[in-house]
Amino acid sequence: MPGKWMRIFQAKAAKLNRGDSWRLEFDDSIVPNKPPFGWKQCQRGGFARFSCSKCRRSWPSGRAMVVFHMRLTGRQGTVKVRPLRQNCKECSDAPMEKAHFSPTDINVLLDHLMEKIGVKFYNEMPAKKEYKEHFKRELNGPHEASHCEACKQGVCTWRKRGF
Ligand SMILES: [Zn+2]
Ligand SMILES: [Zn+2]
């Protein structure tokens, strides 16, 4: 899976066209809402599928949370990414499972990330509101809070918006 992310990320990072190089790293040790000193955070819920390694059941989620920590030192930008996991609601003691994102879903997440990089590091204006509203609506739907790692850590957009 990381290969897909890297390719899409590199194509978008090239379009920033600021003379800095950016790289993306997967890092499961980053803590939501606690970026280390000098790092900035962006988080986003997106579409993904999960599948249970116990019963093989799979389920879609419109709130697969992804946390990004990012930093620019000199001309080198680094983004660390951690997709949060979910577990099966049918199995007892079901293990937390990794999210599987389609290229389309990765695109949406990384577009949001690039917008944040523009705003936080290059003083660009945030994108227009209608664009954001569109994605908010898309993400409405049922959600199993007790099976969502982001909910457990208090960072899920589902919880923040109160339904
Ligand atoms: Zn299961
Ligand atoms: Zn959640």
- Cα dihedral across residues 31, 23, 131, 82: positive or negative: negative
The burial class, CB within 10 Å (0-12 / 13-18 / 19+), for 123 is exposed
Distance in Å, CA 43 to ligand 2 centroid: 13
What confidence category does residue 83 fall into, taking pLDDT thresholds of 50, 70 and 90?
Answer: very high
Residue 136 Cα to ligand 1 middle (Å): 29
What ligand is nearest to the CA atom of residue 93? 1
Q: How much is the pLDDT for 134? A: 52
The pLDDT assigned to 162 comes to 43
How many Å lie between the centroid of ligand 1 and the Cα of residue 45? 23
Whole-number Å distance between alpha carbons of 31 and 39: 12
Average pLDDT over residues 28-53: 95
What is the distance in A from the centroid of ligand 2 to the CA of 147?
8
Of the bound ligands, which one is closest to the alpha carbon of residue 86?
A: 2
Question: How far away, in angstroms, is 33 Cα from ligand 1 center?
Answer: 29
Ligand 2 centroid – CA 157 distance (Å): 7
Per-residue confidence band for 86, with pLDDT thresholds at 50, 70 and 90:
very high
What's the CA-to-centroid distance between 15 and ligand 2, angstroms?
Answer: 32
Name the closest ligand to CA 147.
Answer: 2
Burial class from Cβ neighbours inside 10 Å (0-12, 13-18, 19+) for residue 151 reads buried
User: How many CA atoms within 13 Å lie on the side-chain side of 98?
Assistant: 9
Q: Comparing C-alpha atoms, which of 60, 63, 66, 61 is closest to residue 27?
A: 66
> What is this structure's pTM?
0.85
- Residue with the bigger pLDDT between 16 and 88: it is 88
Q: Is the pLDDT of residue 132 over 70?
A: no
pLDDT for the residue numbered 101: 95
Asked whether residue 112 carries a pLDDT value surpassing 60, the answer given is: yes
Q: Which ligand is nearest to the CA of 48?
A: 2
DSSP H stretches of helix in the chain: 2-16, 103-122, 129-138, 149-152, 157-160
Could you tell me the residue range of the domain that residue 125 belongs to? 2-160
Q: How many domains would you assign to the chain?
A: 1
Kindly give the distance from the C-alpha atom of residue 97 to the centroid of ligand 1, in angstroms, as a whole number: 10
From the CB of residue 23, how many other CB atoms can be counted at a distance below 10 Å? 13
Q: Which of 64, 74, 150 is nearest to 102 (CA)?
A: 64
The yes-or-no verdict on residue 115 having pLDDT over 60 is: yes
- Three-state DSSP at 87 gives coil
Instruction: Please name which ligand lies nearest the alpha carbon of 94.
Output: 1
What order of strands is seen across the sheet that includes strand 58-73? 21-26, 76-83, 58-73, 40-51
